[in-house]
Chains A and B, each alone.
Chain A
């Protein structure tokens, strides 16, 4: 029988994990044959480093100035900033981060204590933690330069702050991992993330409008923040600077209490993981009684006007739309952005300039923006099919019907969005002149029909699999993105001069007539392209299946 290997020490195991992470990073770079990806990584790493170094200077200078200028209590703000960054940054990048799953280490002969220690070491190697530690070091240097006697307290506060933060970050991370293991939670998290990102757009208008009234209320809440880690660390420094040593002990005690509580909870979480916690995608639902008789009642088919196969495709696309949080979210964004842009540039009280943009210009512009956003997924319309793409090739169905079903769903969604946006527009800004309104609708028809053929071709030629409700690694094919931009620039280049023709010639109905002609030609071209696209689908089926079944 073969000899069993010795269990490694914690230090050696940490070294192994560090080596593993480095190899994962190195191999992921080697795998990316696209040089633009590597270039992007280098640029973002350089910019990130500049940001961290710049902030180091800001934190160091801030600590120096607060302590040298007798404003010791303000140093709590710096601790708060680091605390929020340290805890917030990993959550922000949770979906985009490295693909290494720490808990996979549990396969190996690790003791719980070693697992815990490696986890903390792993947490200290995160980008957010490294940046935060750099800033704390800068603060310590700044504080020591201003008041050398404070150096021991500052070092103690920084050490406690680092330990508390890294423990809390690992605790939040382990809970996040547990929550995101479920598909529904992951999708909900994704929706919340995107909604939060959109909401950021409205901070400036909200502050402008409600800032004066909200400030006193925020100040009223500030004493309650004293019990949180940022304020406690600040209290240690302020207390030492003012020789109020009780404050120092309260700060130390508070941070130690936090550290103890977080350590306890993290230990419990890791103990559960260590025992073999199941983080499966789905939880088995409670068994319900099996129906004894088959339900055969069939409702009338609302889609009976369509061919059965197109109607079936349409129904399937509808199910997929309702179950794709990202696609569903994409439908909310355009009307929201209409409200946002309207408040900035149009209406009676635009916030960017004193003069509102003319509705006759703003309406077509907003419609174009909306169509370009909503049409983008059409350039990779099989992205979410996954292995289901094989069903299209196994079934006795022509790809013409599949494309018609998919495109029809998109057109219905677009029409509904247009109606919704026009209603929002009418309420917020008011409608343009009838001639411009009709011209815009005709232009929309032209732009949509004009894009559909090319989008179908792009979907068949440059497919890229995307996962529902996931952010990590979700990227369209580079060619599809290029084609999307190219088509949108081309169509905008055609549409803008046509739209302005009315002004130049003095005939306000000329753009509507021209767009009606272009729309008819584009629709004709679309139907003519379906046969060629069906043949293309047959030629491309292997690459399509390979790309989507990965």
Chain B
């Protein structure tokens, strides 16, 4: 087993009487493309916020690259990149200005920041609107810019909360290729997405959170081994997910009640 990039121990977050994340123990090896799945409101974004220092844990511990997040937050943040749920963009800057701001905040010198910023804007196909403010970008363009900002400093761990939402197929293809190359170079990617096909295609390992609790964790093959799919065909991630979460979700079981619609 390689070095551990992400480690959580009994990670818990409570909001008043609600326990959004309940004693989560995660272990992600360096260089893994790790998918973090769960239905709406399961605790995915809360977990990612705690892993990236945007939210304090009620109890438990987060260790990234061997460093304790609570004890050494600045050093940890220097080595990670994040695309948070709300993207965290300053909407009154242009794309280039925002990348310049982020690069400098991560300690890059100006020439390096500017060079990387231009290359990233070209790669993300955002270079043709140099004077447009981020507020004027489409949702997909904002997402691409948030991704560019997350990688500008060359992070060792990348946290992506729904990174492909709103991104066109062309750019999404290029991004997936880029992310795959990054993991080959040893970068750990922690990704949440509702699109099972994306997770299945990109991720080697997956964890599933449901109602705040981690209900499954392992490689795709390990998860498949525990599920019996349709005879003669390979079990898909969606089938795995539904078999673990769907039984208690109950959404489909009530469909028959909508007789007036059916």
Contact = CB atoms under 8 A, between A and B. Distances in A.
A301 B91 CA distance: 24
Contact of B89 (A290, A295, A387): A387
A298 B103 CA distance: 14
Contacts of A389: 88
Contacts of B110: 298, 301
Interface string B141-162: 0000000010000000000000
B104 A308 contact: yes
Interface stretch (A209-217, A237-245, A390-398, A518-526): A390-398
Contacts of A391: 88-90, 101-102, 105, 149
Interface stretch (B20-28, B125-133, B225-233): B125-133
Contacts of B211: none
B35 interface: no
B4 interface: no
B54 A545 contact: yes
B122 to A, nearest CB: 7
A58 B106 CA distance: 67
Contacts of B76: 396
Interface stretch (B112-120, B169-177, B182-190, B247-255): B112-120
Nearest to B149: A391
A123 B55 CA distance: 47
A208 interface: no
A385 B122 contact: no
Contact of B90 (A320, A396, A397, A542): A320
B1 interface: no
B102 A395 contact: yes
A285 interface: yes
Nearest to A183: B135
Nearest to A398: B74
A396 B86 contact: no
Contacts of A541: 54-56
A291 B74 contact: no
A126 interface: no
Interface in B59-77: 74-77
A316 B96 CA distance: 12
B89 A319 contact: no
Nearest to A289: B128
Interface in A284-326: 285, 287-291, 294-296, 298, 301, 308-309, 311-312, 315-316, 319-320, 323-324
A294 B86 contact: no
Interface in A149-205: 183
Given A298-B110, A315-B101, A316-B93, A390 B136 contact: no
Given A294-B119, A468-B92, A390 B135 contact: no
Interface of A: 2, 183, 281-282, 285, 287-291, 294-296, 298, 301, 308-309, 311-312, 315-316, 319-320, 323-324, 384-391, 393-398, 468, 541-542, 545, 549
A312 B105 CA distance: 7
Nearest to B75: A396
Contacts of B132: 282, 285
A540 to B, nearest CB: 11
B97 interface: yes
A429 B101 CA distance: 44
22 contacts: A281-B135, A282-B136, A288-B128, A290-B125, A290-B128, A294-B115, A294-B119, A308-B107, A308-B109, A309-B107, A311-B104, A312-B100, A312-B105, A316-B90, A319-B93, A384-B92, A386-B91, A387-B86, A390-B88, A393-B54, A397-B74, A398-B74
Contacts of A542: 55-56
Given A183-B136, A282-B136, A312-B105, A296 B114 contact: yes
A397 B105 contact: yes
Nearest to B97: A319
Nearest to B86: A387
B54 A390 contact: yes
A19 B77 CA distance: 52
B92 A285 contact: no
B104 A312 contact: yes
A288 B78 CA distance: 35
B90 A386 contact: yes
A12 B132 CA distance: 46
Contacts of A387: 86-89, 91
A264 to B, nearest CB: 34
Given A309-B104, A385-B90, A390-B84, 10 more contacts: A2-B260, A2-B261, A183-B136, A285-B132, A294-B119, A295-B114, A296-B115, A301-B110, A386-B91, A387-B89
